[in-house]
Every structure is written in structure tokens, then in C-alpha cells.
Amino acid sequence: MTDNKEYTPPEIWKWDAEANGKFANINRPTAGPTHEQTLPVGKHPLQLYSMATPNGVKITIMLEELLALGHSGAEYDAYLVNITEGGQFGSGFVELNPNSKIPVLADHSGDEPLRVFESGAILLYLAEKFDAFLPKDHRERTECLNWLFWLMGSAPYLGGGFGHFYSYAPTKIEYCIDRFSMEVKRQLDVLDRHLADNKYMAGDQYTIADMAIWPWYGGVVSNVVYEAAEFLQTHTYTHLNRWVKEIGQREAVRRGKMVNRAWGELSSQLRERHDASDFELRTQDKLEPAPDEGGEVDK
Ligand SMILES: N[C@@H](CCC(=O)N[C@@H](CS)C(=O)NCC(=O)O)C(=O)O
């Protein structure tokens, strides 16, 4: 890596393994597994391998919403894949998602396990499987998919663009932060204007479009993603703030945020989820002994 303001790219790009800042230990220019690994499989048909990042939380919110609606077939086992430790490069994970990114879902309800990767595809898969949170009316369904795909195309500018250069890059580069701040503010304005006239993203119904967008843009507005709310003046997007608050109050959203979470308050971390009772019985504060008590950690 160079600190020079002017950078002239060489004829052929070469990988500098040290140059990727905070995530240097997991970033690499090749795909495929780095180690052998067999994924655990629990008792439910749906197996989720994930972490509570915004992309992961989209799916746990959907699963908890489905359960709250009474779809008992949406019971799931959620295993934590720690992406900061390279869990996404284990052979078992790569077999389910050759792109080595969480979240990934395996549906064991048929003859052969069926893999579903890409969070947008997982949301659509679950919505179709349970016939829920995807409007039936052609026009409304199309609008829902418009916004679902909007998110899938837009969030990388927020995460890989703005978030990377504002929070993670080893040096603060004005050009990059300016470019992506401008784009993210434009996106926030897109959402704000739309939500001025619509209760939810697809109109009157709460759908997978809301579940996809909320963890990312709601996270920025609530200052839990990148701690940039003041920098981006997110309080000025009043309609967006209204929607963020409303969705954040849903019980299924509150639960979904806790699943596969491995940071923050111990009581907010449900690292693995196998049963609805885990929210009461198996959060990390219940599993880890208080520091002065000693003893084994019950895993
Ligand atoms: N487009 C993918 C993006 C998934 C993604 O970027 N996941 C991140 C966490 S939010 C990840 O697994 N990163 C690990 C890595 O890049 O090695 C999706 O929506 O599922």
C-alpha cells in the first residue's frame, strides 16, 4: 500500500495481503474454500448459516415474522458463521455459497437439501415458500420487487463504498468519502421521498422490501451502522425516520436482530438459535458466567 496522494496503477495488479486494513486477514482475490469444514445441521428443515450484519438480519427478521404469523414450518436452526475469522471460507459453507458471504440458507424439507444464497434470493424464496410478505396483486408485487432489487443494487454503495471508506479504510481518503457520502445521501433522499407518500416500501403492506431495506438504511439512521448519523445528518429525513422507528418496534424485528449476533450487550446476543425459547434462555448473558463466578461456559 502507498500513502502517496497520486497513485499510478502498475501494468499488472498484484495482491498486497497487508493492504486491506481492518479486514486484511479475510480479504483475498480468489474464491473457493481455505479449509475443510462440515457444517452442523439441526433438527428443523430450515438451516441458516449467518451473522447479524445487516445482510444477515434481513433473513432472521423474515423468519421471525413468518413464525409470528403462525407459519410453524419456518422454524429454523441458525448457526453463527464468524466472517471476521474466515468461517465463510470453510468447505461446507462454500458448497452452499460459492461466493463465501453470509447469509446462506439450506432447506432440508425436500429429498435433497436445497441451497439458497444471496439475501434477496433468500427473502424471495421464503416469501414464495410460505406465501407471505409478498403482495399477490400484480402491481403491488412488482413494486415490492422493485424495492427489493433496489436494495440489492444500492446497499453495496452504502456498505462497500461509504462504510468501507468512512469506517474501515486504513487511511481517510477525501475523494472516496465525498463520492460515497453524496451517493448515500441521494439514496436516503430517494427513500425519504417515497416514504412521504407510502406507509411501507411497497405501499400499504409490510413486505420483504421493508425487511431488506430496514437493516441497512435503518441502521444508518439509528446510528448503529458506521456511526455516521450526524455526519450524514440522517435526522433530516423525517419520513424515513418515521418508517425506521415503526419497523424497529416490531417484536419479530427485535428478535431477528439478536440472532447470530456476537457483539454488543450480552443480553442482545443469541449466537445460535434453535428454538423460540432460546430468546429467553440462551442469550449470551445466560450462557456466560459472570466474570467473578468462573466455571465452564455452557455452549
Ligand atoms: N449480496 C450478498 C452480500 C452478502 C455480504 O456481503 N455478506 C457479508 C457480510 S454483510 C460477508 O459475508 N462478508 C464476508 C466476506 O466478504 O468475506 C447478499 O446480499 O447476500
> 50: CA distance to ligand 1 center in Å?
10
Q: Per-residue pLDDT for 240 more than 70?
A: yes
The residue-averaged pLDDT of 151-179 equals 97
170-210 pLDDT, tens per residue?
999 999 999 999 999 999 999 999 999 999 999 999 999 99
251-269 pLDDT, tens per residue?
999 999 999 999 999 999 9
pLDDT range class, residue 288, cuts 50, 70, 90? confident
Residue 170 resides in a domain: yes
pLDDT value of position 167 = 96
The residue-averaged pLDDT of 236-240 equals 98
> 29: CA distance to ligand 1 center in Å?
15
Is 97 touching ligand 1 by the criterion CB < 6 Å? no
Residue closest via CA to ligand 1's atom 16 equals 101
Residue 163 resides in a domain: yes
Residue 52 resides in a domain: no
Is 24 touching ligand 1 by the criterion CB < 6 Å? no
Q: Per-residue pLDDT for 39 more than 80?
A: yes
Helix extents (H) in the chain? 54-68, 91-96, 119-130, 138-156, 174-197, 208-213, 219-221, 229-232, 238-248, 251-258, 278-281, 284-287
Q: What is the position in ligand 1's atom list of the atom closest to the CA of 81? A: 12
pLDDT value of position 132 = 98
- Cα distance between residue 200 and residue 162, in whole Å: 25
Residue 21 resides in a domain: no
pLDDT value of position 210 = 99
Residue 239 resides in a domain: yes
95-135 pLDDT, tens per residue?
999 999 999 999 999 999 999 999 999 999 999 999 999 99
> 244: CA distance to ligand 1 center in Å?
22
Residue 91 resides in a domain: no
Record the pTM.
0.94
- Cα distance between residue 289 and residue 209, in whole Å: 40
pLDDT value of position 298 = 41
% of the chain with per-residue pLDDT over 70: 94
Residue closest via CA to ligand 1's atom 1 equals 118
pLDDT value of position 291 = 60
218-236 pLDDT, tens per residue?
999 999 999 999 999 999 9
Q: Which domain holds residue 156?
A: 138-254
8-21 pLDDT, tens per residue?
999 999 998 877 67
Tell me which residue has cell 466474570: 291
CATH of the domain at 245: 1.20.1050.10
Residue 206 resides in a domain: yes
> 139: CA distance to ligand 1 center in Å?
30
pLDDT range class, residue 296, cuts 50, 70, 90? very low
In contact, 257 and 49? CB cutoff 8 Å: no
pLDDT value of position 22 = 72
Q: What is the position in ligand 1's atom list of the atom closest to the CA of 89? A: 17
Q: How many domains does the chain have?
A: 1
* Strand arrangement, sheet containing 46-50: 76-80, 46-50, 104-107, 114-117
% of the chain with per-residue pLDDT over 90: 90
Is 132 touching ligand 1 by the criterion CB < 6 Å? no
Q: What is the position in ligand 1's atom list of the atom closest to the CA of 160? A: 6
> 159: CA distance to ligand 1 center in Å?
10
pLDDT value of position 25 = 74
Residue 212 resides in a domain: yes
The residue-averaged pLDDT of 26-31 equals 92
